[in-house]
Amino acid sequence: MPQRVTSASLATVLSATLLTGCGAFGLSSGDDATRTVTVWLMENSASPDFLKRFTADFEAKNAGIKLDIQIQPWVGIGPKITKALKGSNPPDVIEVGNTQVAQYAVGGGLEDLTLEAMRDLGSDDWLPGLAEPGSIDAAQYGIPWYAANRVVVYNKDLFAKAGIKQPPADRRQWIRDTRKLNTAGNQGIYLAGQDWYTLSGFIWDEGGELAVESGGQWSGTLDSKAALAGMDFYKELQALGQGPKDADEEHPPQREVFGRGNVGQIVATPGTAKLIEDKNPALRGKIGFFPVPGKSAKRPGTVFTGGSELVVPRATDQRRSAVKVVSALAGDKWQVELARAMNYVPNKAKLSAAVGGEEGLLTMAKGAKYGRATPSSPKWGDVEAKNPIKPYMTQVLTGADPKTAAKAASLSITTTLQKVGE
């Protein structure tokens, strides 16, 4: 797990700043805050109305700074950002996926924003699933912008018919309730065999990891006792439905399967409900949400946190202005506004109550407090590209020895993470 810098180490950072000059404060001589700040944001991350309101407010409060917000497509963005970071004239602020910060920080391509994170942005309160992947070797390169995570989306009518009066609060009750839903031709749950994000949460709940770092080297750990326990629970739950064992949640799209009306539950983001209702209006008002249950009723289960971070390229010639933009976007006022506009979870759990009472968002926020992200290795993207976790899951679900299959998948992860010169 990456180290996080908290307020306890602020004095150390301040001392280092005094020794190295004013650059860490963003006060370099070439940064006069009277020019255009170029911001790359990803498509569909924020609505046009939000961006219009933010731009007007920011420019009114920061005389002399103009924003040039450029929307980028997700497809092909990795190579584009890498090229920009190596150039002499990159954008001044870039939105990146929370699991991508490490790969861009390698080689010194990003500004260290540790001081701003602690001094101005309340980093102690950030969601762990956003804060951790943005922190590399105790330095904060990514500033959390927004989060989203999976919850259990359920059919209220099927729950009522099965005599289930309230959603389960722990794993064992979840299993019992799911069995009750398997009546009259209904499926208690639709869980695809290769939904590795959901599996990751179960592994983390058991105290396991997908991979760990030691002495600068990363190794896959799916064959640990804790990780195998997470896979064992996944197998038990997956068997209570008719999900495919050799495909992920998009093949076929699980929202379409749920939309037929005979599936009790899926694990998905709350926004999936609207897509389901649009496809099958008969389900409108009949879809509910609850956090993925944990091992005990004391807290929800751990979930994978997806989302975005804001980074500042090292080669920017206007660090101070760029940091002002990041601070505004990641600050409390615009965090609440963005969450309201896009049904996101704000970067701080305490802000969720200010967003509103929408059931799906509030449920997602409860789980986000216990969110995690994938390992912060700069090569984790290469692991996902070939993704040995998916076939490993299929092997276990179809009868292979779990430990043998996990060892092979762990070796594949290790080999990818330790490749040199790629």
Tell whether 140 is covered by a domain. yes
Q: How far apart are CA 391 and CA 405, in angstroms?
A: 9
Exposure class string for 194-229: b at 16+ Cβ within 10 A, else e: bbbbbbbbbbbbbebbbbeeeeeebbbbbbbeebbb
pLDDT of res. 106: 87
Tell whether 41 is covered by a domain. yes
**Under a CB-based contact definition with an 8 Å cutoff, are residues 208 and 401 in contact?**
no
Domain enclosing residue 284, as ranges: 151-303+374-417
Residues 293 and 166 in one domain: yes
Residues 263 and 320 in one domain: no
Residues 367 and 378 in one domain: no
Tell whether 422 is covered by a domain. no
What letter would DSSP give residue 283?
Answer: G
Tell whether 1 is covered by a domain. no
Nearest to 292 by CA among 353, 361, 347, 364: 364
Residues 189 and 291 in one domain: yes
> Domain count of the chain?
2
**Under a CB-based contact definition with an 8 Å cutoff, are residues 96 and 142 in contact?**
yes
pLDDT of res. 355: 86
Residues 278 and 365 in one domain: no
Residues 231 and 183 in one domain: yes
Which residues contact residue 76 at a Cβ distance below 8 angstroms, ignoring those fewer than 6 apart?
none
Tell whether 286 is covered by a domain. yes
**Under a CB-based contact definition with an 8 Å cutoff, are residues 90 and 311 in contact?**
no
Q: How far apart are CA 391 and CA 377, in angstroms?
A: 22
Residues 309 and 299 in one domain: no
Residues 387 and 367 in one domain: no
Residues 278 and 133 in one domain: no
> What is the domain-level CATH number for residue 296?
3.40.190.10
pLDDT of res. 186: 95
Domain boundary among 371, 394, 409: 371
Q: Give per-residue pLDDT as tens, 8-23.
A: 333 333 333 323 333 3
Residues 136 and 164 in one domain: no
pLDDT of res. 35: 84
- Per-10-residue mean pLDDT of the chain, 422 residues long, equals 42 33 35 78 96 98 97 95 95 96 92 91 93 93 96 98 97 98 94 98 98 95 98 98 97 97 97 94 97 97 97 96 97 95 92 85 93 94 95 98 98 94 55
What six digits make up the tokens of 397? 């679900």
Residues 169 and 233 in one domain: yes
Q: How far apart are CA 213 and CA 68, in angstroms?
A: 39
Q: How far apart are CA 190 and CA 237, in angstroms?
A: 9
Tell whether 320 is covered by a domain. yes
Q: How far apart are CA 119 and CA 10, in angstroms?
A: 8
Tell whether 66 is covered by a domain. yes
pLDDT of res. 301: 98
Tell whether 2 is covered by a domain. no
Measured CA to CA in angstroms, residue 122 lies from 95, 119, 174 at distances of 20, 7, 36
Residues 181 and 280 in one domain: yes
Q: How far apart are CA 346 and CA 125, in angstroms?
A: 11
